[in-house]
Chains A and B, each alone.
Chain A
Amino acid sequence: MSPKRQSLLPFFLILPAVIFFLIFFALPLISGIQTAFTTPEGELTLANFEKIYGKSFIKAVFNTLSLVAIIIPIQLALALVIALLVNTRLFGTSKFLFICAIPIALSEIVAGIIWLSIFTEKGYLNVMLHTLGFLKQPTIYLSYEKPATLFMTIALTEIWRATAIVMLIILPGLQMIHKDYFDTADIFGASRLQKLRYVTLPMLKPTIRTSLIIRTVLAFQMFAPVLVLAGRAFPVLASETYRIQFFTRNIHLAAAYALIIMVISTAFVLFYMRSLRTRWSA
């Protein structure tokens, strides 16, 4: 083997990944931007954005952002609680960890249907309330007339499904914090809460940032639970993109929608990067 070939080997090995990345990530990204700003005839235009701007667009943006604003703080807190519980290393914590990790393997659509079985008219929530004697006739939760209830069921489904993702990012970060920090805090007589506030949380900042980025980005492509639980009654950005693509068959409008999602989600990523900057960050 000649020295020349040897030195090319690492590039040769990453070449498939680079080619794949360019064709299926970079190319659609560029093509998407171009499609969003052109007419079917190929002229440059802003008309696509004007066309999608309207009542349902504002509703979709509002709904998506409110879901993000409610779901993500709750998930972060719950994930932190689970991670701290696992880290107590009490008897049975490894089984507890596995149970909490299960939803990570479940599809969005499965999660949606599971919670549909609970919130549908003759679903398990009403059945349980009836069995306990709180209720004679079934209450309808998933209805066009109850946007607040729809919002809560979708949020609950997402919290149930995706807290595992956040937790599995937080937990290794928590376990990487060196024991010495806690020992020192103990010597100075810090209480449990003080240790959480002044040791754990600051040390977890880079991990929290990563989990926020990944989770928020995923929230912008959230799609199936909304469709299962609310149909068209609760538009979010991803479900509207799907609707436009399928019902108008106008790829330019759909691309404009997709571009808006990309821009909003990137804005969030940049915001997290700036506001949670740390000494340790890579």
Chain B
Amino acid sequence: MKKQEVICYIAMVIISLFVLVPIILITIGTFTPRLELYKWPRGLIPSRFTSDSFISFAQSYGVMNGLKNSITVAVLTVIFSLLIGIPAGYSLSRFKFKGKSLFTVGVLTTRMFPIAILAVPLVKIYMGLGIYDSILGVAFIHTIFAFPFAILISHSIFASVPREFEEVAMVLGCSRLGAFRRTTLPLVAPGIAAIAIFAFIISWNEVFAATLLTLHNRTLPALIVARLEATTLDFLFASAFFMLVPCLVFIFIIRKRLLRMWGIILR
């Protein structure tokens, strides 16, 4: 092995450890007996591993409800983003029309604002509409985060499927919708699944808007923020571990598409 390669490997190991060690530590922390977290001196590895903190987190007041809210909001965000994003992405990939570039610029502009901050005026608007402190209201603002991604990614996925497939199907007697459903849709399905996962993660993780727009119907992150000042380490560690696991699973599923998807968004 050349000297340069050795240096590269050392750098890769150091950076990997920087990313992974904190995740390992929170995992250890979650399964450490609760009292040991406050003991001094204490060792890195606890005297025994236990799921006590985890169970008491799951059973503490509001958590199950928060979990239900988080999942509902995330699923709604996925549905809205796909319903809004896929037709628009399809339109951008298949048609030339007036205002197309204006529309694309509009979509891109959303990235240039700290959108979460829009939650502040939305409080007022939501109160007027009667959807303040509701699952639906949070899902709407999460959709604003996620749908530009859905449009840009689905646009490029559709662009990679030749339109001739649809044309042939239409010649053979399919309607436009039928042609789309029978030819393009099966080909783009994995890409759309990746968009759905992405939208789910965006919503599942979002803190600021969810905190501002809810009082009782809190999602998990909003619940944790509300409890911050009056809670224990074991509750926090278990909550972080609990929020972390689905994300790790999801990112593992879409790992192959990750780079391509971000490559699209950067333009």
Q: Which of B188-208 contact A (CB under 8 A)?
A: 201, 204-208
A248 to B228, CA, bound (A): 19
Could you tell me which A residues sit within 8 Å of B by CB distance? Answer: 1, 7, 9-11, 13-14, 16-18, 20-21, 24-25, 27-29, 31-32, 35, 78, 81-82, 85, 88, 90, 92-93, 96-110, 113-118, 120, 122, 124, 127-128, 130-131, 137-138, 160, 168-169, 171-173, 207, 210-211, 213-214, 217-218, 220-221, 223-224, 227-228, 231, 238, 241-242, 245, 251, 254-255, 257-258, 261-262, 265-266, 269, 282
Nearest residue (CB) in A for B242 is: A110
Residues of A within 8 A of B43 (CB): 127, 131
Nearest residue (CB) in A for B251 is: A105
Residues of A within 8 A of B39 (CB): 122
Nearest residue (CB) in B for A258 is: B120
Size of B's binding interface in residues, CB under 8 A: 96
B121 partner, pick from A106, A258, A269, beta carbons under 8 A:
A258
A10 to B117, CA, bound (A): 32
Residues of A within 8 A of B250 (CB): 105
B263 within 8 A of A: yes
Using known A-B contacts A25-B144, A172-B262, determine if residue A228 contacts B12 with beta carbons closer than 8 Å: no
A interface: dominant SS: helix
Q: Which of B219-263 contact A (CB under 8 A)?
A: 221, 224-225, 228-229, 233, 236-237, 239-240, 243-244, 247-248, 250-252, 255, 258-260, 262-263
30 of the cross-chain contacts (CB-CB < 8 Å) are: A11-B99, A13-B87, A14-B103, A17-B103, A20-B144, A35-B121, A82-B15, A90-B5, A92-B12, A96-B15, A98-B255, A99-B19, A106-B244, A107-B206, A110-B205, A113-B237, A117-B26, A117-B233, A124-B25, A124-B44, A131-B44, A217-B111, A220-B114, A224-B225, A227-B228, A228-B228, A238-B208, A242-B212, A254-B123, A266-B113
Asked if B88 and A29 sit within 8 Å, CB to CB, the answer is no
A169 to B43, CA, bound (A): 40
B49 nearest CB across to chain A (Å): 16
A49 to B97, CA, bound (A): 44
Question: Which of A11, A14, A124, A211 has the most CB atoms of chain B within a 10 A radius of its CB?
Answer: A14
Proximity string of chain B (30-71) to chain A, C-beta cutoff 8 Å, 1 when within and 0 when not:
000000011111111000000000000000000000000000
Residues of B within 8 A of A31 (CB): 121, 124-125
Asked if A102 and B23 sit within 8 Å, CB to CB, the answer is yes
A34 to B224, CA, bound (A): 32
A103 to B251, CA, bound (A): 10
A261 to B117, CA, bound (A): 8
Using known A-B contacts A107-B205, A127-B42, A172-B259, determine if residue A32 contacts B121 with beta carbons closer than 8 Å: yes
Asked if B117 and A16 sit within 8 Å, CB to CB, the answer is no
A54 to B202, CA, bound (A): 34
Asked if B147 and A20 sit within 8 Å, CB to CB, the answer is yes
Residues of A within 8 A of B85 (CB): 17
Asked if A96 and B205 sit within 8 Å, CB to CB, the answer is no
Nearest residue (CB) in A for B141 is: A24
Asked if B117 and A105 sit within 8 Å, CB to CB, the answer is no
Residues of B within 8 A of A18 (CB): 103, 106
Using known A-B contacts A17-B85, A223-B208, A238-B208, determine if residue A113 contacts B18 with beta carbons closer than 8 Å: no
Residues of B within 8 A of A100 (CB): 15-16, 19
Nearest residue (CB) in B for A8 is: B97
Asked if B236 and A16 sit within 8 Å, CB to CB, the answer is no
A122 nearest CB across to chain B (Å): 6
